[in-house]
Amino acid sequence: MKFLEKSPPFLFFTGKGGVGKTSLACATAIHLAELGRKVLLVSTDPASNVAQVFEQKIGYEITPVTSVPGLKGLEVDPQKAAQQYRDRVIDPVKGLLPPDVIAGIEEQLSGACTTEIAAFDEFTALLTNTQLREEYDHIVFDTAPTGHTIRMLQLPGAWSSFLDDSPEGATCLGPLAGLEKQRNQYRAAVEALADGKQTRMVLVARAQASTLKEVSRTHDELAELGLNQQYLVINGMLPESEAAKDMLARAVYQREQKALSDIPENLRKLPVDSLTLKPFNMFGLEALKLLLKPDTPTITGEDLPLKHIAVSPLSVMIDELTEKDHGLIMLMGKGGVGKTTMAATIAVELAKRGFPVHLSTSDPAAHLTDTLNGSMDNLIVSRIDPEAETERYRQHVLEQQGAKLDEQGRAVLEEDLRSPCTEEIAVFQAFSRVIRDAGCKFVVMDTAPTGHTLLLLDATGAYHREIVRQMGETGMSVTTPLMQLQDPEQTKVIVVTLPETTPVLEAAHLQDDLSRADIHPWGWIINNSLINSETESPLLRKRTQQEYYQIDAVLNKYAKRTALVSLQAEEPIGVERLLKLSEA
């Protein structure tokens, strides 16, 4: 494996949820330990399953992995780290500021950016701890910091007054409040990350167009910061031998090969390794040792008993949606789970039934026109351009607030406006314009703002409170976008996931995030399931057995109503195939 050759002291594994970062990090740590090295494996993944992978408790303190001499593990709890970080920022001002101001600061510090900074706090302690450097030959990190986080750490930290002066300028600036005290430690950590002799970034992806596009963006973001020691691992490739077993396996193989042939140009220059899809879950030492092996173990799957699960198809969920003749339907979920396809499927099915439908997306990687591959009566399609909306919003904030700041403050503001939350807020404003249609027709929205963004807007008075204040008593009759999203009679939020461990856990975290904004998902869609596929591929039949646990968790733990969509042999492109998908 190229990414294992001449391994430096620090190895970071990064990529989208569900691509196998944790398994690959664990397998790498085992491999290095078996070479006689002393290794520390660190995870800051909120959906971490390192303890389950090794079948032992690890937790928040460095713990020996009993099955692997020379290997120790540490699971950093990002939420716990973020809470400790918030406490350090907020405790000194409690009692000095009004409760509503404290509440606003707490929400500023409740989002993904704060969690990133808090996790990086833990990273820096490990990267700069000379005692650990002497004790371990390698420290392997499951989940790396984003380019945005590293850039923020390169800037002087300061709590800018522009948040107090302009609610509409609310962004993720909050985390910068606590950085000043540890700037020297951060500087040393950033230097270590940029040193190719000390650090290697391993980008993990699946052979899927959406995943490869996201990895491409990550590559550019890290390279811009001087982190050029990057390697690419394509995980979970279906072996060509399985393609001859049945039509579904052949279709999956061909899709993966097409994605690889169209791989973004910047990734072609990286050292690349490919790992085959395994027929088993990555739990236990033996499974992890097999992950880095180039060949898939021979298995026989024809005699594996497969049971069908009685989960309703998507058409049943759509039946319930049509109890009214209008409303907002929002599809939410992590990247790569099929939100765009599910949104298009619901939209064309509603249009087929005679309802007027407006289908819209704010996903920069979504190609609704390509997915629909045609037009139909009762359906209009639009796209919110996140880049254009973000730039418009960014310029507005810089013009309004940048003029009040010195050069250092403006640099902090400009970097803060590059954060993911900035795009969410900008898109939310455009999104608010689109959903006005929901009073007279169905509006199906692909990709929506997170619960943190909604609360951030509300807590600072960016829209909701400002309207009520301006309208006075008459404002009580005004329905703001946030109020519309909170009303289950007006809005149906549907979470999309895959029947795999990490995507289900990430969807559950998303549901919790939305609940904080008093938005409660109406239903879940489990996409690309093998459960009822009747595949003859031994490998896919073995994979099918492992879906039962995740589907059971969705049905009995997370969702009020669930629809299951089977993995299709043909790519679900075009109105005709999308209509079939609702029954799949």
Element (H, E) at 74: strand 71-75
Residues 283 and 332 in one domain: no
Both tokens of residue 541? Answer: 């039949």
The answer to whether residue 390 sits within a structural domain is no
Mean confidence (pLDDT) of the chain? 81
Return all residues near 221 (Cβ < 8 A) that are at least 6 apart. Answer: 146, 147, 148
Q: Which of 161-175, 319-333, 512-526 is predicted least confidently?
A: 161-175
Strand ordering across the sheet containing 63-64: 63-64, 71-75, 39-43, 138-142, 10-14, 199-206, 230-237, 272-276
Number of domains in the chain: 2
Residues 161 and 121 in one domain: yes
The answer to whether residue 475 sits within a structural domain is no
Q: Which of 45, 273, 416, 446 is catalytic?
A: 45
C-beta neighbour count of 519 within 10 angstroms = 24
Q: Which of 28, 362, 502, 535 is catalytic?
A: 502
The answer to whether residue 287 sits within a structural domain is yes
Residues 108 and 229 in one domain: yes
Quote the CA–CA distance of 523 and 317 in Å, as a whole number: 8
The confidence band for 493, taking pLDDT boundaries of 50, 70 and 90, is very high
pLDDT in tens, 417-438: 776 667 777 777 788 888 888 8
pLDDT at 180: 56
pLDDT at 80: 79
Distance from chain centroid for Cα 315? 27
Quote the CA–CA distance of 356 and 39 in Å, as a whole number: 59
370 is catalytic: no
The confidence band for 69, taking pLDDT boundaries of 50, 70 and 90, is very high
Residues 249 and 156 in one domain: yes
Distances, alpha carbon 451 to alpha carbons 79, 513, 521, in Å: 16, 5, 11
pLDDT in tens, 192-215: 888 999 999 999 999 988 789 889
pLDDT at 448: 59
pLDDT at 270: 97
pLDDT at 370: 67
22 is catalytic: yes
Choose one of 256, 291, 326: the last residue of a domain. Answer: 291
Q: Which residue has the higher pLDDT, 336 or 36?
A: 36
CATH code (residue 352): 3.40.50.300
Residues 281 and 362 in one domain: no
Quote the CA–CA distance of 81 and 115 in Å, as a whole number: 7
Average pLDDT of the segment spanning 347-352 = 96
Choose one of 291, 326, 358: the last residue of a domain. Answer: 291
Return all residues near 243 (Cβ < 8 A) that are at least 6 apart. Answer: 249, 250, 252, 253, 254
45 is catalytic: yes
Residues 168 and 222 in one domain: yes
DSSP, collapsed to helix, strand or coil, labels residue 172 as coil
The confidence band for 453, taking pLDDT boundaries of 50, 70 and 90, is low
What is residue 37's DSSP assignment? -
Residues 371 and 500 in one domain: yes
pLDDT at 244: 84
pLDDT at 472: 56
Average pLDDT of the segment spanning 269-280 = 92
Residue type, 528: N
Average pLDDT of the segment spanning 502-511 = 86
> By residue range, what is the domain housing residue 569?
314-384+439-458+490-581
Average pLDDT of the segment spanning 450-471 = 51
User: Does residue 260 surpass a pLDDT of 60?
Assistant: yes
Contact between 143 and 393 under an 8 Å Cβ cutoff? The reply is no
Q: Which of 33-42, 147-156, 214-223, 396-405 is predicted least confidently?
A: 147-156
Q: Which of 20, 169, 301, 523 is catalytic?
A: 20
CA atoms in the 13 A half-sphere facing the CB of 460: 25
Strands 63-64 and 71-75, sheet pairing: antiparallel
Residues 368 and 247 in one domain: no
352 is catalytic: no
The answer to whether residue 421 sits within a structural domain is no
The answer to whether residue 123 sits within a structural domain is yes
The answer to whether residue 19 sits within a structural domain is yes
* 42-51, 119-128, 181-190, 549-558: which is most confident: 549-558
* 81-90, 140-149, 492-501: which is most confident: 492-501
Q: Which of 14, 22, 28, 340 is catalytic?
A: 22
Residues 224 and 358 in one domain: no
Q: Which residue has the higher pLDDT, 509 or 320?
A: 320
Quote the CA–CA distance of 210 and 367 in Å, as a whole number: 11
The answer to whether residue 400 sits within a structural domain is no
Residues 452 and 518 in one domain: yes
Quote the CA–CA distance of 434 and 203 in Å, as a whole number: 36
Per-residue DSSP letters for 430-499?
A: HHHHHGGGGGTSEEEEES---HHHHHHHHHTTTTHHHHHHHHGGGGGG---HHHHHH-TTTEEEEEEE-S
Quote the CA–CA distance of 232 and 230 in Å, as a whole number: 7
Residues 140 and 38 in one domain: yes
111 is catalytic: no
Q: What percent of the chain has pLDDT over 70?
A: 81
Q: What percent of the chain has pLDDT over 90?
A: 34
20 is catalytic: yes
Helices (H) then strands (E): counts for the chain: 26, 15
Q: Which residue has the higher pLDDT, 416 or 15?
A: 15
Q: Which residue has the higher pLDDT, 375 or 288?
A: 288
23 is catalytic: yes
Q: Which of 18, 147, 333, 523 is catalytic?
A: 18
Residues 124 and 175 in one domain: yes
Residue 12: closest CA among 154, 114, 139: 139
Q: Which of 21, 213, 245, 339 is catalytic?
A: 21
Average pLDDT of the segment spanning 515-531 = 91
pLDDT in tens, 137-196: 999 998 766 665 666 556 543 333 333 444 444 445 455 555 555 667 777 888 888 899
The confidence band for 394, taking pLDDT boundaries of 50, 70 and 90, is confident
The answer to whether residue 302 sits within a structural domain is no
Contact between 314 and 565 under an 8 Å Cβ cutoff? The reply is yes
